[in-house]
Structures are given as C-alpha cells and as structure tokens.
C-alpha cells in the first residue's frame, strides 16, 4: 500500500485542472459559489440556499452506477441540485488498496454533476482515521477542481469511536491542505459517533476558518426527536449544520421505512433551511438502496426499477427543490 501511495502522490503534480461552465439556469449558474453566513448556507449573493439530493453508495461496492449519465439523470429527472460521490475508504478494494480505480469512479460522477450545473460532495467515505491518505486525496481533488463553484469537500464521512479532539485535529490538517490550494469552496466536517456528537463540537469548534459546516447524519427509524433537539441546540450556539447523509429506515440501513418520522424530519429541515442528501444510489437487498439490480447504470430509471425508498426520495427532492 505504501508503494502505491508513493507513486500516486507523484501523480498529483501532473493531475489536470478541470473547469466547467455551469449551464444557463442550472443551480450553480443561479447560485454560484456557496458561502456560510453565520449558521446558514448561502449563495454567492448571501441569500439562503437549500440543497437536496442523493448519495451514491460506496464506490467499491457499486462502481457500476458511478457514471456521468447517472449523475445527469439525477439532476434532470429527480431535480437534485446536489449529489454525493462516496469514495469508499475501507472494505474490499477501497481507495486504500486501489486509488486509481477509486478516482476513475468518482471523477465520472463529479464531472457529470459539473456538466449538469449542480453541486457535488467529494466524500472521503471512511469510518476510520487515515490522515496521510486523506491529505494526498484532497490535495489532488482541490488541485483538479478548485476553479469550480460546484465543489463541496466532505473530509471524513462518519468517524466512529473517536474523540472530538482526534476528529478536530484531523479536520484542521485536512482543511489546511485544501485551503492551501482552494481558499473558498465549502468544507464539511464530521463529528464522533457517526456524525451525531454535535454537542462536542459546540464546546470546542474549529476557529479561524471560513466556509466550514459540520455534518449530521440521521436514519429516521432510529434517530428521533433527541437528535433533532441536539442539532437545534448546536445551531443555536452558532454551529452551521449540513445533513450529508440521511434515510427513513433504521440506522442499519434496513428495516421498515418510518414514513411518519421521515416526514417529520423533512418538515424540520425545511423550517431550519437545512441542506440534506439521502442514502443511497445502490441495489443492495436492503431498504435504504433505491434501485433494483436491473436498473440501468446510466439513469433513465422508471418506477419499475425504483424501490420504495427511491420513489419516496425522488418525490421528497422534487418537492424540496421546487420551492
């Protein structure tokens, strides 16, 4: 692995800068570069903006859906104004073992988002700490995409059994790596216990950085009012929150969809002007996967290949982004 990353690091210097002009009347054309004002995500003019979209599943588990056309379908048909490219860091054949393939996958989704003029999260989708690898990865991503206002960096998907002290130290290092190359695009920071310990952030936030938000993840079948209350408290204390992963069933990603709690969360997010991304574009035999295995890799998904959760999410996104 060390040999692979040494070679990979050398390639950063020759990685081609990528820049797309957002299509007329697309979300990025209208809103431009995002900024954080207080606790609110805003557009280039300082007007509050809400993003709603979907997350692709782990690239190393469902690489076939990592296509530019799938990203463009989500923008045009589902009316997503944001999508999330979840680059798997861990499990079999992940970025740690096969960084070249990982970049091939996520680049297709990122470029599809740029062509459609929507925002895209570049997600270092890990539960464990990998500081050196993350620095290499985000230096490369910032070098390639820094001139695109579409880009959002999610620097650690879900820290699990780490303290906020450890997560904060890591985050400050990765933020510094990105900011040395890209001074402006939005950066998302996780918190311990699967992005639910926002209370630890409240007492010791990252300081001296602009355009940084903190992620919260919920699964409505497990996470009830207590997590909404914790998030409300964090926001009231000046912590800007972005919900970069959510779903309607249990935290396992399976089990029945709790439609009542999902709708409660939707109303709550709308009232707080919180941006959200639903999990996931995949075809695993579990309720949080949105597609049946016979779904095309290039989008064009009719009701016949959408599972129940896919239909619910599509409707929720269309309703949110039509307001």
The confidence score (pLDDT) of residue 2 equals: 40
Q: At residue 9, does pLDDT exceed 70?
A: no
Q: At residue 5, does pLDDT exceed 50?
A: no
Which residue, among 114, 125, 104, 115, has the nearest Cα to 55 in the 3D structure? 125
- Please give the torsion angle defined by the CA atoms of residues 160, 163, 166 and 172, in that order, rounded to the nearest 10 degrees: 90
Cα–Cα–Cα angle for 53, 257, 80, nearest 5°? 10
Q: At residue 10, does pLDDT exceed 90?
A: no
pTM (2 d.p.): 0.95
| CATH 3.20.20.80, applies to 2-12+26-321 | yes
Could you give the C-alpha distances from 148 to 121, 141, 163, 188, 242, in angstroms and in order?
A: 12, 11, 33, 17, 20
Question: pLDDT category, 15, cuts 50, 70, 90?
Answer: low
Separation CA 254–CA 266 (nearest Å): 20
Q: At residue 17, does pLDDT exceed 90?
A: no
The confidence score (pLDDT) of residue 79 equals: 98
Contact 317, 78 (CB under 8 A): yes
The confidence score (pLDDT) of residue 14 equals: 41
The yes-or-no answer on residue 245 being catalytic is yes
- Tens digit of pLDDT for each residue in 187-199? 999 999 999 999 9
| Domain range annotation of the chain | 2-12+26-321
- Tens digit of pLDDT for each residue in 84-94? 999 999 999 99
- Tens digit of pLDDT for each residue in 132-187? 999 999 999 999 999 999 999 999 999 999 999 999 999 999 999 999 999 999 99
Which residue, among 239, 275, 19, 48, has the nearest Cα to 145 in the 3D structure? 19
Over range 102-127, report the average pLDDT.
Answer: 98
Beta bridge partners of 53: 82, 277
Contact 195, 227 (CB under 8 A): no
Q: At residue 4, does pLDDT exceed 70?
A: no
Question: pLDDT category, 1, cuts 50, 70, 90?
Answer: very low
Residues shown for the chain: 323
Q: Is 199 helix (H, G, I), strand (E, B) or coil?
A: helix
Considering only 3-17, 48-62, 88-102, which range has the smallest mean pLDDT? 3-17
Contact 247, 266 (CB under 8 A): no
Catalytic option among 133, 245, 250, 261? 245
Q: At residue 209, does pLDDT exceed 90?
A: yes
Catalytic option among 133, 154, 158, 250? 158
The confidence score (pLDDT) of residue 311 equals: 98
Over range 105-113, report the average pLDDT.
Answer: 98
Q: At residue 244, does pLDDT exceed 90?
A: yes
- Token pair of 147, please? 């001139």
| DSSP per residue, 80-115 | -SEEEEEEE-SSTT-TTT-HHHHHHHHHHHHHHHHH
Q: At residue 298, does pLDDT exceed 60?
A: yes
Considering only 12-16, 27-31, 140-144, 240-244, which range has the smallest mean pLDDT? 12-16
Residue with tokens 């990603």: 253
Separation CA 207–CA 196 (nearest Å): 20
**pLDDT, mean over the chain:** 95
Over range 294-315, report the average pLDDT.
Answer: 98
């Amino acid at each position: 692995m060390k040999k692979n990353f040494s070679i990979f690091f050398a390639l950063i210097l020759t990685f081609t800068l990528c820049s797309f002009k957002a299509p007329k009347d697309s979300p990025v054309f209208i809103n431009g570069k995002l900024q954080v004002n207080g606790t609110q995500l805003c557009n280039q003019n300082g007007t509050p903006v809400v993003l709603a979209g979907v997350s692709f599943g782990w690239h190393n588990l469902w690489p076939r859906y990592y296509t530019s056309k799938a990203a463009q379908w989500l923008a045009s048909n589902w009316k997503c104004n944001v999508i999330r490219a979840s680059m798997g860091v861990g499990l079999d054949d992940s970025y740690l073992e096969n960084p070249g393939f990982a970049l091939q996958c996520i680049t297709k989704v990122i470029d599809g988002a740029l062509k459609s003029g929507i925002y895209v999260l570049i997600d270092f989708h890990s539960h464990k700490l990998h500081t050196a690898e993350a620095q290499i990865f985000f230096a490369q991503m910032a070098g390639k995409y820094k001139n695109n206002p579409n880009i959002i960096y999610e620097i650690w998907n879900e820290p699990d059994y780490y303290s906020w002290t450890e997560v904060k130290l890591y985050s400050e290092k990765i933020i510094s790596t990105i900011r040395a190359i890209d001074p402006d695009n939005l950066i998302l920071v996780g918190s311990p216990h699967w992005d639910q310990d926002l209370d630890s952030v409240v007492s010791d936030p990252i300081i001296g950085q602009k355009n940084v938000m903190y992620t919260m993840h919920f699964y409505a079948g497990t996470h009830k009012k207590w997590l909404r209350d914790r998030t409300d408290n964090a926001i009231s204390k000046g912590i800007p929150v972005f919900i970069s992963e959510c779903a309607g069933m249990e935290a396992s990603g399976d089990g029945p969809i709790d439609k009542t709690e999902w709708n409660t969360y939707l109303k709550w997010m709308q009232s707080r002007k919180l941006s959200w991304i639903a999990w996931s574009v995949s075809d695993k035999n579990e309720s949080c996967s949105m597609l049946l295995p016979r779904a095309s890799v290039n989008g064009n998904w009719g009701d016949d290949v959408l599972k129940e959760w896919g239909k619910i999410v599509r409707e929720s996104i269309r309703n949110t982004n039509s307001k």
